[in-house]
Structure 1
Amino acid sequence: MSKVCEYFFAPHSPFAYLGHDRFVAMAEKHQVQVIPKPFDLSKIFGVSGGLPLAKRAPQRQAYRLKELARWSEFLGKPMVLQPTHFPVNSDTAARMIIAVQLAQGSRAALELAGAFMRAVWEEQRNIADTDTLVAIANAQERDGATLLKSAETASVQAEFDRFTDEANAASVFGAPWFIYQGEGYWGQDRLDFVERAFARS
């Protein structure tokens, strides 16, 4: 079987942020090709029974913060638990990731995705703001203005919609979600299982 892993994520997801760098590193270690698939998490919540953060019960919201703090400390990964710009609409960021993937490949897309995630959870920047997105891309020595323009095209929107449809068809109900050799894994806390699957193949 081919060593290809589909990576479904939303750029604003705190758990995607916590797992992103580890996942990319383990894929490289095991020579697994990653196919980044940023998708519309809000639409998946709508069909899978999930709720956006603001609509969750208070005890669930409180426990989520404790889990984020535990994982941030455990991984040694800096994280602002309640950043200024969250919740945030990350659809344009997702489309820019798709645009760079189409133009420069998956590695470039993963690098930009990581930068957008850090912007939310380390730097408290607003990734719903297009000037911020352009500046982040420029800092990676990519043409942010061109990527933004590409992100607004019908072809990139079609890819974003396709990834969302694929997530729904694959019974994805959260982010991050990894599909490897037909098996799905939900969450950055399942990455040990993902790596075991990589190592066995």
Structure 2
Amino acid sequence: MAHIDYYLGTISPWCYLAGDRLERIAQEHGATITYKPLDLMQLFPRTGGQTPGERHQSRKDYRMQELARWRDRLGVEMTLQPAHFPVNMAPSSYAIIAAQQDGSGDTGGLVQGFLRAVWAEDRDISDDAVIREILTAAGFDPAIADKGLFAGAEQYGRNLEDAVAAGVFGAPFYVVRDSGQTFWGQDRLDFLAEHLAAG
């Protein structure tokens, strides 16, 4: 059985555009997923990149065009300039880590809930009340937000180190542990599916 490490940022528009395709691909091919939220703003400079705010204006302009194109291509609701962006990714990431360890709800749905809150609902995912609502909607005890705080913080830091060691430099980034194959971007999910199908 193949296993996929999914490196993500809870405010990444590209992770939002991925939707639930990874989960559907994994189900189809009998693969498992470990969700590994991390601090993208630390990842970029450590792997030769720049944070979005530091990039040249031409890259910022192109990014906005591409987001609009993919929004329209995928037919998803998306606010290109959300009310709460960027915000601190740590609290929502801690919640995902704690929820995954708990295992009582839908972790994929939780990840998508946070991303949808930013990009389609204009909600602040660094706000404790919002985090609790999204946990509840995904079938988790909202108290996880408090109980998993310490363990979540530790794992969040480890996820960044794991990402750098695995060659991750952006998000979404998918690493197939068994083969060592890596896939960067929501537009590479078809390649991931083909790789899993090939066994």
TM-score of the aligned structures, taking structure 2 as reference length: 0.94
Aligned position for 1:43: 42
Q: For residues 140 and 4 of structure 2, what CA distance do their matches in structure 1 show?
A: 25
The aligned counterpart of 2:170 is 174
In the alignment, the residues of structure 1 paired with residue 3 and residue 158 of structure 2 have an alpha-carbon distance, to the nearest angstrom, of 18
- 1:158-173 to 2 correspondence within 5 Å? 158-173=154-169
2:82 aligned partner: 83
Alignment of 1:16-165 (within 5 A): 16-104=15-103, 108-144=106-142, 146-153=143-150, 155-165=151-161
Partner Cα separation in structure 1 for residue 89 and residue 52 of structure 2: 15
Runs of 4+ displaced beyond 3 Å: none
Aligned partners of 1:20, 1:91: CA distance in 2, in Å? 21
Could you list the runs of 5+ residues in structure 1 that have no partner in the other structure?
none
Q: 2:78 is paired with a residue of what secondary structure?
A: coil
1:10 is displaced (CA, Å) by 0.8
Q: Does the aligned pair in 1 maintain the 2:7–2:36 contact within 8 Å? A: yes
Deviation per residue, 1:73-116 (Å, 9 max, x gap):
111111111101111211110110000000116x7221111100
TM-score by length of 1: 0.93
Q: For the Cα contact (< 8 Å) 2:93–2:152, is it kept in 1?
A: no
Flag the 1:141–1:3 CA change in 2: closer, same or farther, 3 A.
Answer: closer
Q: How many angstroms apart in 1 are the aligned matches of 2:147 and 2:91?
A: 10
Identical counterparts, % of pairs: 37
**Cα drift, residue 40 of structure 1:** 1.5
Structure 2: tracts of 5 or more residues without a match: none
AA in 2 matched with 1:148: A
Contact 1:92 1:151 in 2 (8 A): no
Residue identity in the other structure for 2:32: Q
Q: Confirm or deny: 8 A CA contact 2:18 2:186 kept in the other structure.
A: yes
2-side partners of 1:17 and 1:141: how far apart?
A: 20
SS in 2 for 1:17: helix
Alignment partner of 2:106: what SS? helix
> Are the aligned partners of 1:98 and 1:109 in contact in 2 as well (CA < 8 Å)?
no
Root-mean-square deviation (Å)? 1.4
Query: Contact (CA 8 Å) 1:150, 1:156: kept in 2 or not?
Result: no
* Separation in structure 2 between the aligned mates of residue 136 and residue 84 of structure 1, nearest angstrom: 18
* Aligned partners of 1:12 and 1:117 also within 8 Å: yes
Change (3 A) 1:170 1:140: closer
Instruction: Tell me, in whole angstroms, the C-alpha distance in 2 between the residues paired with 1:151 and 1:63.
Output: 38
Mapped to 1, the partners of 2:23 and 2:57 lie a distance apart of 33
SS at match of 2:122: coil
Q: Is the 8 A contact 2:106 2:138 kept in 1?
A: no
CA distance in 2, matches of 1:5, 1:135: 27
